[in-house]
A and B are shown apart, each in its own frame.
Chain A
Amino acid sequence: MTTTPVQHAAPRARTRRARLPWQRVPIWALMLLACVLSVVPFYLMFVWASHPSAEVFTFPPHLWFGDAFARNWQGLMQVTDGQAPRQFWNSLYIALISTLTTLFFCSLAGYAFAMYDFGGKGALFAFILGTMLIPPLVMDIPSFLVMNNVLHWVGQPRALWVPGMANAFGIFLMRQYISSALPRELIEAARMDGATEFGIYRQVVLPLIRPILATLGVVTFVGAWNNFKGALIMKLSEPDTMTLPLSLRRLGGGATNVNVDWGAIMMLVVITVIPLLIVFLLASRQVISGLTSGAVKD
């Protein structure tokens, strides 16, 4: 019985929306422009990374690929004293370990807030949300002092990933998803079957919240991979700890000095951006819908 009105409505809606093609030209032109402007800087960094250093700045500028990719890679190895792969690995290590620990601790806490009733739950959750109001900037100086004078972690990668392992945003995102996506009966049933509380989390909850784990995972990975200020403050500047953003700063910081190896720098730019593109394009739909669904609920 529901099919009849739908069948009636559909063609009518279509005729109303179907306009002459030329009327849609401005809309398509506008969207095309927006997309091109979004993508052009990415395109240009690949173009520049494929030209010899001296030709990154030429007039008129290059707009198509050259053949100096391999040469720029060698140049990059030269200007980084062969450390570029190591820097890539340092960034990857911090990003991966941040992601895994964040997913674990945030989903655990989010699950507790979504599925348990316990004394002080409301107040504890409100407190966690309240910490989101503190601008990260206010924390820079004192957390450096804790790392420097108390823990002596300055210069070590853990200074970057430990503080954020269980963060307010992740816990909030997880709680929102778990309370709307998982039925409490499921937890009860597992409990009846004799599962332990952590066992329920591991065997029942974790497999069912994969979509939101993917969202938070990508966001955390991207955030940790891009963490420039943190690495700068915590002085990850020795050869064996330097991350890609710090290396970029060292090579390409401060406007446009033509006497440096720009082909090599663009190579490093490309290397810094490629993992982000891969991770995001693999999960973009998921990430976008996950992020925006958490945005306005509550």
Chain B
Amino acid sequence: MSQRTPTAAPPRAPWSYTRFQQRFAPYLFVSPFFLLFAVFGLFPLLFSLFLAFHLWSPLDGVGNWKFVGFENFQLALGPTDMFWKSLKNTVWIGLLSGIPQHLVALPLAFIIHHSLRRFQGAFSTILFLPYITNAVAIAIVFATLYSERLGILNYLGGLVGLDPVRWLGDPNMVPYSVAAVVFWRYVGWNTVLYLSGLQAISEDVYEAATVDGANGWQKFWYITLPLLRPMMFYAFTLTIVGSMQLFEEPFMLLNDGGGSGGAGLTSAMHIFNTAFRDLDMGYASAMSWLLFLAIFALSMLNNYLFSRDGGRR
């Protein structure tokens, strides 16, 4: 670069440290990410793809893998393995926790934004609290609440004459019990997301609509919802990606087997067990790629639903 300098900085030396470091500083500044990604991202990713087609345990030692083609994938998608069941559990728990999250968060954000302006900060702080907490610690608290004979939930149920519920013992109840914890943890986060989306909508739009004679419901339907779409898309995406990888809550509430009948065994737990308990790394890698495809497909579906509706308008 020494030839390029003379035009700009007149009497300097042809090669100057100042120029040199100006040119290379940005590359140096962004390089840590790429170095770390090469070691802890790219190489592992390729290795995982490689392993998905092999039979291998870390105990066999590096190099002693056996090529099995698509057998790992066939096994995962076949009827004998838990993977399908775990995927169904994951999606079911995801729907049970995800849909109510958004159905509650949107109106809550709407109320806070329109009716409780002065206390917005206080409300969002309190509702945000569950989001930052420790999943393991909170799962222990919920396990205590769920205790069959001595838990608070069955105590409250007893006060109004309900029979005790086996919250974590009944396979039919397990998805609801797990979903409730997930719901509790993320509903405030979604409320805060929607609240900030609402705050970004200009008052002028509403005033123009008022002048045109729109009522409250019309304003919500024709202004708020459409303008909130980007935030809804973002929030939905986070919910999908997060629920498909659900691990800590069911792992803590139900042990690694997912409780009786495996009703709370999520795919992330099943992959974890296969990889780190059974040490079947190739098979676990194949399942993690299948789960990745499932997440990708659901995200694409989400994307499609949003963009198609948007085009119609």
Taking beta carbons and an 8 Å cutoff, which residues of A are in contact with B?
Answer: 24, 27, 30-31, 34-35, 37-39, 41-42, 44-45, 48, 56-61, 105, 108-109, 111-113, 116, 118, 121, 124, 128, 131, 134-146, 148-149, 162-163, 165-168, 171, 191, 194, 196-198, 201, 222, 225-226, 228-229, 232-233, 244-245, 248-249, 252-256, 258, 262, 265-266, 269, 272-273, 276-277, 280-281, 284-285, 288-289, 292-293, 295-296
Instruction: Answer whether residue B230 sits at the interface, using C-beta atoms and an 8 A cutoff.
Output: yes
A112 & B276 in contact (Cβ 8 Å cutoff): no
Is A41 a contact of B285 with CB atoms below 8 Å? no
* Interface residue from A24, A31, A139, A248 paired with B41 (Cβ < 8 Å): A139
Per-residue interface assignment for chain B, residues 276 to 310, with 1 indicating a CB less than 8 Å from any chain A CB and 0 otherwise:
10000100110011011001000000000000000
* Count of CB-CB pairs between chains A and B under 8 Å: 261
Q: CA separation between A60 and B155, bound complex, in Å?
A: 7
Asked if B13 is at the interface of the complex by the 8 Å CB criterion, the answer is no
Q: List 20 A-B contacts (CB under 8 A).
A: A30-B111, A34-B108, A35-B127, A42-B133, A109-B32, A121-B26, A124-B30, A139-B44, A140-B275, A145-B44, A149-B58, A165-B36, A166-B33, A225-B134, A226-B133, A273-B134, A280-B129, A280-B132, A288-B192, A292-B196
Say if the beta carbon of B91 comes within 8 Å of chain A: no
A221's nearest neighbour on chain B, judged by CB, is B132
Q: Which residues of chain B are within 8 angstroms of A131 by Cβ–Cβ distance?
A: 37, 41
> For the complex, is B253 an interface residue (Cβ under 8 Å from A)?
yes
Residues of A within 8 A of B281 (CB): 141, 145
Residue contact B188 to A38, C-beta cutoff 8 Å: yes
B147 at interface, CB cutoff 8 A: yes
**Bound-state Cα–Cα, A138 to B259, Å:** 24
| Prevailing SS type, chain B contact patch | helix
Closest to B210 in A: A16
Q: B115 to A197, Cβ gap below 8 A?
A: no
CB pair B188 A245 closer than 8 Å: no
Is the Cβ of B30 less than 8 Å from the Cβ of A245? no
Among A61, A197, A226, A255, which residue has its beta carbon within 8 angstroms of that of B21?
A197
> Smallest CB–CB gap between A60 and chain B, Å?
6
- Most chain B C-beta atoms within 10 Å of own C-beta, residue among A138, A163, A265: A138
Complex CA gap A137/B276 in Å reads 13
Q: Does B165 contact A (CB under 8 A)?
A: no
**Which residues of chain B are near A128, meaning CB under 8 Å?**
33
The smallest C-beta distance from B312 to any residue of chain A, in angstroms, reads 21
Q: Does B75 contact A (CB under 8 A)?
A: no
State whether B45 touches A137 (Cβ < 8 A). no
Alpha-carbon distance A149/B43, docked complex (angstroms)? 13
